[in-house]
């Protein structure tokens, strides 16, 4: 309800209106709708999100909606591989198997090195067609950003930039269910 009120008062979210290229007319979506996972961890929607200019790997489980935010030092492939390893290890520590990672076609995400690394772990990478975004991850991150803005507006002081990561992680942790409680 707070988010609806904020949209009514302040207008559309500025993060949602950021200029992103649109698909050309007649383009087809690349995601196979017949891929219907039934267990948590089978399909992860991933995207790189920026918190105060710092890249973070954001992932959302297709079945449970469980979200993770992993800090990265840069958008380099090595950092992305490290962040994905942390994400996959977290799921494995709860006896969940990651079969597929769906992501948009960012330049760092389409490199063969990443696909080879994940294939070596038994994880298939699904890349969206150019200019089609990973909608599930981006919509979930939009909700996280709106909740962060609502939290910040309630503070009686200006939140220091160093604490935005902690706020984002707190919002993600409160917005998701425990991985062990999901199917």
Length of the chain: 183
- Round to whole Å and give the CA distance between 135 and 122: 24
- Round to whole Å and give the CA distance between 150 and 141: 14
Per-residue pLDDT of the chain (183 residues; tens, 9 = 90+): 777 777 778 776 666 655 444 444 544 455 555 567 888 889 999 999 999 889 999 999 988 889 999 999 988 888 988 999 999 999 999 899 899 988 887 655 546 777 888 888 899 888 777 777 888 888 899 999 999 999 999 999 999 988 999 999 999 988 775 554 544
Domains of the chain as residue ranges with CATH: 45-175 (3.30.420.10)
For residues 67 and 145, is the Cβ–Cβ distance under 8 A?
Answer: no
Mark out the alpha helices in 94-163 (DSSP H runs). Answer: 112-120, 135-154
How far CA 13 is from CA of 4, 7, 172, in Å, comes to 11, 7, 18
67-71, strands of its sheet edge to edge? 67-71, 54-61, 43-51, 100-103, 124-127
Residue 111, classified by CB atoms within 10 Å of its CB into exposed (0-12), middle (13-18) or buried (19+), is: middle
φ and ψ at residue 47, rounded to 5 degrees: -155, 160
> How distant is the alpha carbon of residue 118 from its chain centre?
17
């Amino acid at each position: 309800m707070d988010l609806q009120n904020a949209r009514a008062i302040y207008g559309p979210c500025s993060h949602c209106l950021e200029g992103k290229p649109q698909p050309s007319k007649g383009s087809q979506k690349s995601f196979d709708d017949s891929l219907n996972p039934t267990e948590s961890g089978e399909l992860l929607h991933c995207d790189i999100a920026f918190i105060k200019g710092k890249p973070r790997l954001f992932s959302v489980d297709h079945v449970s909606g469980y979200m993770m935010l992993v800090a990265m030092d840069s958008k380099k492939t090595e950092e992305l591989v490290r962040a994905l390893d942390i994400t996959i290890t977290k799921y494995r520590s709860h006896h969940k198997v990651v079969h597929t990672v769906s992501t948009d076609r960012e330049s760092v995400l389409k490199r063969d090195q990443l696909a080879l690394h994940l294939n070596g772990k038994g994880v298939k990478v699904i890349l969206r067609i150019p200019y089609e975004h990973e909608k599930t991850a981006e919509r979930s991150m939009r909700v996280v950003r709106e909740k962060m803005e609502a939290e910040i507006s309630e503070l009686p002081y200006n939140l220091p930039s160093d604490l935005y990561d902690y706020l984002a992680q707190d919002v993600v942790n409160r917005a998701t269910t425990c991985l062990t409680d999901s199917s």
